Structure 1
Amino acid sequence: MRIIVPMAGRGSRLRPHTLTVPKPLIPIAGKPIVQRLVEDIAKVLKEEIEEIAFIIGDFGEQVEKDLVEIANNLGAKGTIYHQDKPLGTGHAIMCAKDSLSGPVVIAYADTLIRADFKLDPDADSVIWVKQVDDPSAFGVVKMNEKKEIVELVEKPENFVSDLAVIGIYYFKDVGVLKNELQTVLDNNIIHGGEYQINDGIKGMMAKGYTFVPGEVDEWMDCGNKNVTVDTNNRMLGFLSKDGEKLVSETAVVENAEIIPPCYIGENVVIRNSSVGPNVSLGNNSTIADSSVKNSLIQTNSSIKNANLDNAMIGNNASFDGNFTSISIGDYSVLE
């Protein structure tokens, strides 16, 4: 089994945090989004992962090393491909064409899931979906009486179904998708100025390949600051229920209260403060004379005299002030 992760976009909706760090490497409860994604997929599949291929932009040598290490830690080979131009999901997948063989999961690195199900061995493909309240805001699946997916409909004006496509797919033989996407590229089939994975899937459906839904229990987005903070909150809750240790033994807590669930990284110092619930503090950060809840603070940052709620603060930042719901990028100073 292989996992293919298209992640070439910088994440403009999450700026300023993505000006220096690609969105999939933003930490959620202490781990990069993309790491949590592939770990959760590996748990669901319950199969040996041979390779994890990451399709990235010009993110730099260190990012590439970090991604390969994420794959290696799961016992898989890490492969890096580059998408030099933002030409869509179908084009991104074809940038990894040397890895498009055999059974594959394709997962876009801006979403996290909680799920527990077995793959249907008789299906040619599984499209993972989540029931939503407002289907008109999403791409959804249309199914026949046998509960097979027969059509993908983008933001339907009239009700088709309430099962939204979350951007994770399984192909029993991804080589078939590869051939269909090559046809899309060769014939310059473009929607919105981009080559889309949906056109490859529609080509497979037209040839009789069977698609079924795989429904997830939780679907968490990391699109902008508010939803990323909310995803951090929800993930902390799940990890706490799972019994995962979230507070580092190297943390220094003096005259302070930690209200769980919280992730407290290595060498964090908390003095004269209340932290939590739903707070992630990255390694080497300091909190002093403050109240912090429902917030995500990355590494090497200093917070004092603050009352934070629904805040997101980057790496190496310094904040001293009275604002509450803030979004501060890396190396910012507000004093």
Structure 2
Amino acid sequence: IKKVIEKPREPVSRLAIVGVYYFRAAGKLYQALDRLVKENRRVGREYQFTDALQLLADQGEEIRTIDIDTWLDCGTPEALLETNRVLLPASENSPEFPGSRVVTPVSVADDAIIERSQIGPYVSVAAGARITDSVIKDSIIYQGAKVERSNLTGSIIGENAEVSGVKGSVNIGPGTKLSSG
């Protein structure tokens, strides 16, 4: 690779950057990233990882590609939920929680707590999350999040966020508290 272009207006090849990288030695990458910050080289308010890759290519570093069978986009909440729907059927995780109903496919961390609730289909529940007296479908519940007395579909609940008495679709970030009243 000689030139790295982030989201070109017109396709310049059949290759796409899908966000998976492997570096044998990351020192030169860190130097390139430091240079971007020191030079305040940004697009809008963001530093671009692809600019660091281009700096490496300009320095003669070898950048190679590999072919992949499937590319799953996670760049928007809708795309993240779609990727969750695609990946979950491959999950072997079909837990049981007394007093609750689980509709597969789901993925539930071993230490997650589900009480008097229905989860699934297409729900991922991360470590330390707690769901009580709720119905959750087509959603992702991140680590340490708490959901109670809610009916959620197509929702993303951030790490250590808390949701209480909410109905519908919500997308809340880490540490956020959301209550219906």
Q: TM-score, normalised by structure 1?
A: 0.41
Is 1:229 paired with 2:69? no
1:257 aligns with 2:112: no
- Please give the alpha-carbon distance, in whole angstroms, between the structure 2 residues aligned to 1:324 and 1:275: 14
Distance apart, 1:210 and its partner CA: 4.6
Q: Which position in structure 2 is the counterpart of 1:93?
A: none
Change in 2 beyond 3 A, CA 1:179/1:225:
closer
Query: Which of 274, 286, 311 is residue 118 of structure 2 equivalent to?
Result: 274
**1:181–1:199 Cα contact (<8 Å) kept:** no
Aligned 8 A contact 2:122 2:137 in 1: yes
Aligned equivalents of 1:158, 1:302: Cα separation in 2: 44
- Whether the aligned pair in 2 keeps the contact of 1:313 and 1:328 (CA below 8 Å) is yes
| Distance across 1 between alignment mates of 2:26 and 2:141 | 39
Q: Aligned residue for 1:198?
A: 53
SS at match of 2:9: coil
> How high is the sequence identity, in percent, across the aligned residues?
25
Instruction: Answer whether contact 1:152 1:198 (CA < 8 A) is retained.
Output: yes
**1:301 paired residue among 120, 139, 146:** 146
Match of 2:131 among 269, 286, 298: 286
| 1:161 alignment partner in structure 2 | 13
**Structure 1 gaps, min length 5:** 1-148
3-state SS, counterpart of residue 89 of structure 2:
helix
- The answer to whether the 8 Å contact 2:129/2:141 transfers is no
Note if contact 2:145-2:157 (Cα within 8 Å) is conserved in structure 1: no
> Given that residues 291 and 307 in structure 1 are in contact (C-alpha distance below 8 angstroms), is that contact kept between their aligned partners in structure 2?
yes
5+ residue gaps, structure 2? none
Question: Which residue number in structure 1 is paired with residue 170 of structure 2?
Answer: 326
Report how far residue 197 of structure 1 moved. Answer: 0.9
Q: 1:274 to 1:213 in 2, by over 3 A?
A: same
Distance 1:203 1:331, change over 3 A: closer
**What is the deviation of 1:218?**
3.4
Aligned 1:51-62 pairs, distance under 5 A: none
- Counterpart of 1:320, as a letter, is G
Partner Cα distance (1:275, 1:179) in 2 = 42
Instruction: Tell me if structure 1 keeps the 8 A contact 2:29–2:56.
Output: no
- Cα distance, 1:294 vs. partner? 0.7
Post-superposition, which runs of at least 4 consecutive aligned residues in structure 1 deviate over 6 A? none
User: Relative contact order (C-alpha < 8 Å, sep 6+): which is higher?
Assistant: 1
Q: Structure 1, residues 140-163: CA drift from partner, whole Å, max 9, x if none?
A: xxxxxxxxx343233333331232
The change in CA–CA distance for 1:320 and 1:217 in structure 2 (over 3 A counts) is same
Amino acid corresponding to residue 312 of structure 1 in structure 2:
I
- 1:1-335 alignment to 2 at 5 Å? 149-171=1-23, 177=28, 181=32, 190=41, 192=43, 194=47, 196-205=51-60, 210-238=62-90, 240=91, 243=92, 245=93, 247=95, 252-254=97-99, 256-265=100-109, 266=111, 268-271=113-116, 273-282=117-126, 283=128, 285-288=130-133, 290-298=134-142, 299=144, 301-304=146-149, 306-314=150-158, 315=160, 317-321=162-166, 323-329=167-173, 330-335=175-180
| 8 Å contact from structure 1 (residues 252, 267) kept in 2 | no
Comparing both structures, which one devotes a greater share of its residues to strand?
1
